[in-house]
Chains A and B, each alone.
Chain A
């Protein structure tokens, strides 16, 4: 076995790439990941990726915001220091709603996006783990782990049949460290 770590099929067209994924899977080749310059719908079903649960996180963060806002206002305006405004009740729920709404949105947005960054390992200054520099430009790249899938010539053939413009053999996982 050589030092080849990853085989990359670089496609110029998303439909051909989808076709390439099908071909590889029909032949029992496991796909490591696919890098694309834009979201491709239907690809997650092919690669068996489950539905994102980020919406559940978003809801939990949102409801936390609602409760936090209510608790803050209730404490300040009803418990800690009641302000007598013309003898009106200090527990004036309608007046609380705007801030409760705003904090719901604020908590939901920040909580969800930070969860997203954490779960996909995105943070400022992170070294980009890039396999092919054109995958953010005009190429749709299928990455196959070369050690798990031994039949390199078969993979090469399958990728080229599906329409890959280029098949690369990377000896390092990520070229971006070079």
Chain B
């Protein structure tokens, strides 16, 4: 790490001058160690009301059964599974950032991994509640496990993707939690050693007695790398298996071999969009502009263009294959999607997921915080519609025209969905208050090599190629946290 300077051709990952190790700790722990501001309280109250709505709607469902939803004989899956897949998809960015980007040695992940992982955990919690409430009799939820029982032991059907999904989601949730928490230990210890009284006692329990000795760090790094190695295929497998819930069925519109990669790309797409939605606000409100820089935002936007385009290609491929298959049922499913009674949801999906993310090719839009924030929400609206289109429009006109139906959500459907967003934001806002939103130790690693001030020092030493310096200074223009006048004289 130390002693080796990074090329100045790379943009800095920490901006600002006079950043020291102590300042990094102070900046990141600011929201944890101080009383929250008004913006936090307003956000928290609104989200908590949403969470309350969720509690009411889910309890109502448990009490009255899923007849309280708008499902009917033809459309047996609608907002519930749409919401489930939507949340699981959002949950993919955290592990992708922490695992895949670690393996690819993308150091910019260090500033965003912690909150993205937290977001993953909260999103998977939201997703899991959909599955449980959809069971109808949630007190029998343990029936999905292969437990000995009095029916002879009649085991679960291991050929069913729904059983695979149970294993995949629970593994994904628990491994993500483990990865997140192990990474948090050094940072909890930092809070502990700065706190006094009851706070210190509480953080002592949660810090597991971390000290930061040489062996602890050495093994910590080995553990992180291996966890990243196993989480990478895990994250790909989870959405693959979610897609198999559909792909292994015989419903036209679902029975598609392209689903696994298409779902995974869509999951990363929506996950990064949600990370942007949260972090663009968090960096401003918490004053973390020096750590989550325009470079981070631009990098995430680039991933959104890539995955959005993959999703676009998948939509077109699906359409082509439906025509090429020669199966009239498959063909009708797709014609019905785009021109049938749900045409508006199909075109909503196309616009939000395929067309509008292409705007990010323009540098101006990619670097505009407002535009990025709006587009990140548009992407997640589109991704919700994608799942709605796949699920509802494939089901609502089945094989017998006399049973064709439309789906109309009830107030419970709407409340469970809106409420789950409230729950998600409540958990995220609480997280910002009690745990560091940026991995402190990992950001400290970047200070001596990849920060603006270390690169400034390199330039001032004067051994750098003039062209490189010019290119570097030009690349800094996009940063809103860099004092441009410092570079005017160079």
Contact = CB atoms under 8 A, between A and B. Distances in A.
Interface of A: 12-15, 18, 33-44, 47, 49, 52, 54-55, 58, 62, 72-73, 76-77, 80-81, 83, 85, 92, 95-96, 98-99, 101-106, 108-110, 112-113, 116-117, 119-131, 133-138
B463 interface: no
B217 A54 contact: no
A109 B22 contact: no
Interface in B246-287: none
B247 to A, nearest CB: 12
B226 interface: yes
Given A34-B213, A49-B215, A76-B158, A134 B222 contact: no
B233 A35 contact: no
Contact of B230 (A38, A85, A109): A109
B186 A136 contact: yes
Given A55-B226, A73-B158, A124-B205, A136 B212 contact: yes
B-side binding surface: helix, strand, loop or mixed? helix
Interface stretch (B61-69, B129-137, B174-182, B313-321): B174-182
A92 B210 CA distance: 47
B195 to A, nearest CB: 10
B305 to A, nearest CB: 30
Contact of A106 (B146, B171, B212, B214): B171
A105 B341 CA distance: 44
Interface string B164-198: 10011001001100110010011001101110000
Given A34-B214, A92-B159, A130-B193, 6 more contacts: A109-B175, A126-B208, A128-B204, A131-B211, A135-B211, A136-B186
Interface in B147-171: 152-159, 161, 163-164, 167-168, 171
Residue from the set B153, B192, B218, B233 with the largest chain A CB neighbour count within 10 Å: B218
Contacts of B167: 98-99, 102-103
A95 B194 CA distance: 52
Interface in B437-463: 440-442, 444-445, 448
Interface of B: 1-3, 20-22, 25, 146, 152-159, 161, 163-164, 167-168, 171, 174-175, 178-179, 182, 185-186, 189-190, 192-194, 204-223, 226-227, 230-231, 233-234, 237, 241, 244, 440-442, 444-445, 448
A77 B190 contact: no
Given A14-B2, A33-B213, A39 B445 contact: yes
A125 B204 CA distance: 6
20 contacts: A14-B1, A14-B2, A34-B213, A37-B440, A37-B441, A42-B1, A52-B219, A58-B226, A72-B146, A76-B156, A95-B158, A98-B161, A99-B164, A106-B175, A112-B223, A120-B215, A123-B208, A135-B211, A137-B194, A138-B22
Nearest to B217: A39
A129 B204 CA distance: 11
Nearest to A58: B226
A144 to B, nearest CB: 14
A7 B186 CA distance: 23
B5 to A, nearest CB: 12
B444 A37 contact: yes
Considering the complex of A and B, which 3 residue pairs feature the smallest CB-CB distances, nearest first? A126-B209, A138-B21, A76-B155
Contacts of B178: 109-110, 113
B213 A119 contact: no
Contact of A122 (B159, B190, B193, B210): B210
Nearest to B205: A125
A79 to B, nearest CB: 11
B193 to A, nearest CB: 4
B219 A119 contact: yes
A12 B155 CA distance: 61
A22 to B, nearest CB: 13
Contact of A54 (B153, B192, B223): B223
Contacts of A121: 209
A117 B20 CA distance: 30
A81 B153 contact: yes
B210 A124 contact: no
Contacts of A138: 20-22, 25
Nearest to B22: A138
Contacts of B227: 109, 112-113
A133 B193 contact: yes
Contacts of A126: 208-209
A30 B168 CA distance: 49
Contacts of A43: 214
